Structures are given as C-alpha cells and as structure tokens.
Structure 1
Amino acid sequence: MKQQDKEDPRVEESPSALNFEYNINRFGVLFLLAIIIAALAGLFSNGLLSSASKQNTPHTFDVNYDRFARLMSESEINITIQDLHADRYMVSIGNSLLDNYQLGDIRPEPDKMYSHGGTLYLMYNAADFPPPLSLWISITPRKPGNVTSTVKVNSEAEITYRQFVYP
C-alpha cells in the first residue's frame, strides 16, 4: 500500500470553537477565583463581610448579627443592652423573625416570655441582670430570601436590620 493511499490523520480544527474554549478557560478560572475569595471574605457565611452590628440612635443597645445565613443552618443574634437604666428590660423582636426563623436557645433565659400580635417579648428583671446585658438568640432560617427584622428594648428607638438567607 502506498503512502498516498492512506487517509490524512489530521483533524480539521474550528478556530471559533478553539477561541470559545480558550475564553471559557481564561474567564472560568477568574470566576472560580472570585467565588473562592468571596467565600473566604464571608459573603456566603461567617467572615469579614458577613458580620454586622447596628446601634440605636441614643446608643442604649446594639444588635450583632450575620448579614448572610444559610437555610436550615443555625446562627446567632447578640443583643447588648448598655446604658439603659430601668427596673426591667422588655426586649421585643418583630414578627418577621417568628415568621421566617425557628428560635433555638435564648441565653440568658428570660424571666418571662410571650408573643402577641406576631411579636416576641422577652422580659428581664434589671436587678438580676445589671447593664451591660448580653442576650444571645439562636435562630435557624426556614425560608430563603431577604429578611428584615426589628428589635426594640423598652421604649427606646428600634433597630431594623436585614439578613439574606441563601437556599
């Protein structure tokens, strides 16, 4: 058999397909690197971008929370009562918390706790808990999406904060 009778083993390459593959490889690596950096910074869970804190206008209490949470994954809210002098502390948490989250531990345990009109009320005797009182509430998101919650202590200005829950 002669050399000329054999089929040519070379494959016809499409320049557009090669350019497409090259661009996918080049931008795909950058995209994956951006996801890794965002995850390390806390965009998807705990980290620098995730932790947030808000204080009310008269600076009597503040709320520490995570901006981002994962569905059915427990996180905590910390409410710190600082310069509020009263006989008792009534912490009220808006109805979106009860609608969108499952409550877990509440530390320290309140003297009295009830809900009315969708709002959760936690009552503490100030003699038992002198300022600063640090209150920890464990929450587990039940629904994905953007959730806005409010926290109020006694008749002080309320704090409204927002948390995004990943599915």
Structure 2
Amino acid sequence: MKIRSSSSTPPSPSQPVSENAFWLNFEANARRYGFFLLLLIVIAALCGAFSKGWLSHQQRTTADGGLTLEYERFNRLMSDTEMKIVVHAGIRKEVTVVLGGDFMETFQITTLQPQPDRMQAQNNRLVLSWSRDALPADHAIWLGVQPLQWGQSQSTVAVDQGPSLPFWQFIYP
C-alpha cells in the first residue's frame, strides 16, 4: 500500500490525527520486510548459524587420516562448548597432541578427558602427552572449552609432529 501524497493531511472532525504519507509508507514497508528478515534470522538460528546445529558442526581429518577433529564452528562468548579429537594412534609409544594458533589466547579449558600424563605450554602452544599403554588404538580426547574473546579465531591441532590441522571458529559477543 503506497500513499502518494507527500504532505500531511490536516486534522478534521472525522480524522482527528494528522497523517504523513512518508511515515505511513515507512510503517507498511517495515512490516512487510521486517517479517521476512525475522523469518530468515529464525531459520538461520535453527540451522546453527549462531550456535550448535547443521551449519555449525564441523568434522575435519588430516590428509594422512591420523587425526580427526569435531567441533562447533560458531560459539557464544563465555558459554561452554566441546571439542573431540580422535587420534588414530597405531603402534606409537607415546601420543602427543599440540594445540596452537589462537587457541591459548581464545579459549580456557574447563575439562579434559582422559587426563594427560604430561601437559605444558610452550611457544603459545599447548602440548598434551599420553603414554601408549593407557590408550586404545583410536584414542578420543574430549575438551570442554570456554571462549574468552569474541571474533574469529584461527587455531591448529597436530599429533606427534605430524601435519597440523587448521580450523577456525567465530565467537559471538
């Protein structure tokens, strides 16, 4: 509905309120397009564009197949999220997982299962080590993390000096 008059209508006994055509058109367009915008936001949220869901869930594997990472690509600041690192250990004596990039600056680890035999921070990287005796062939490491900074985070994960697996996450404020 578009009203063509650009001036306000003067008040009369039958219409006690002065109406401006510009604002009437603005309201009609806000209703029309606002509904579709709200619908798009709800659909994006249900698909996981703001947290857990189809768009957010990501699984990455190294080229040699020695490491698989499952994580949520979109998170919220100060809310708990999980990462699952699966190491296909084979016959190694010790398994070492290295988390690098922005990981140490962006996340706080709240839980780590199973507990590593050794853990150290070196050169802005977190190095976790387990002895082979305590591990099955496919070793799953569960990390409960909490984002500390909002924005995009570029991190890496590697196992036993192998190729690093880069991954990114976006943290909403």
Task: Answer yes or no: same fold by TM over 0.5.
Answer: yes
Identity of matched residues, %: 32
Does residue 124 of the first structure (1) align with residue 130 of the second (2)? yes
Which residue matches 2:36?
30
Structure 1 residue 17, shift from structure 2 partner:
1.8
Evaluate the alpha carbon distance shift between residue 28 and residue 35 of structure 1 in structure 2; reply closer, same or farther with a 3 A threshold.
Answer: same
Matches within 5 A, 1:67-86: 67-82=73-88, 84-86=90-92
TM-score scaled to structure 1, two decimals?
Answer: 0.91
Asked whether the equivalents of residues 66 and 87 of structure 2 are also in contact (C-alpha less than 8 Å), the reply is yes
**Is contact 1:94–1:150 with CA below 8 Å preserved after alignment?**
yes
What SS is found at the alignment partner of 2:52?
coil
SS at match of 1:37: helix
Once residues 115 and 138 of structure 1 are traced to their aligned partners in structure 2, the CA distance between those partners, rounded to angstroms, is: 18
- Distance (Å, rounded) in 1 between the aligned partners of 2:164 and 2:92: 17
Structure 1, unaligned runs of 5 or more: 1-6
Query: How far apart, in 2, do the equivalents of 1:107 and 1:139 lie?
Result: 12
User: 1:90–1:153: 8 Å Cα contact kept in structure 2?
Assistant: yes
Displacement of 1:103: 1.0
- Shift in Å at residue 111 of structure 1? 1.0
Contact kept in structure 2, 1:95 and 1:120, CA below 8 Å: no
C-alpha displacement of 1:95: 4.6
Q: Partner residue of 1:151?
A: 157
Aligned pair count? 161
Q: What is aligned with 2:66?
A: 60
Which amino acid is 2:56 matched to? S
The equivalent position to 1:9 in structure 2, one of 14, 18, 25, is: 14
- Conserved in 2, the CA contact under 8 Å of 1:147 and 1:164? yes
Residue range with higher mean Cα deviation, 76-85 or 18-27:
76-85
Deviations 1:128-158 (A, max 9, x none): 1022100011111111000011000002211
* Aligned residues: CA RMSD: 1.3
CA deviation map 1:62-104 (0-9, x unaligned):
1111000100001011100125431110001105211111111
> Which amino acid in the other structure matches residue 69 of structure 1?
N
Amino acid at match of 1:44: F
Alignment of 1:98-109 (within 5 A): 98-109=104-115
What amino acid sits opposite 2:80 in the alignment?
E
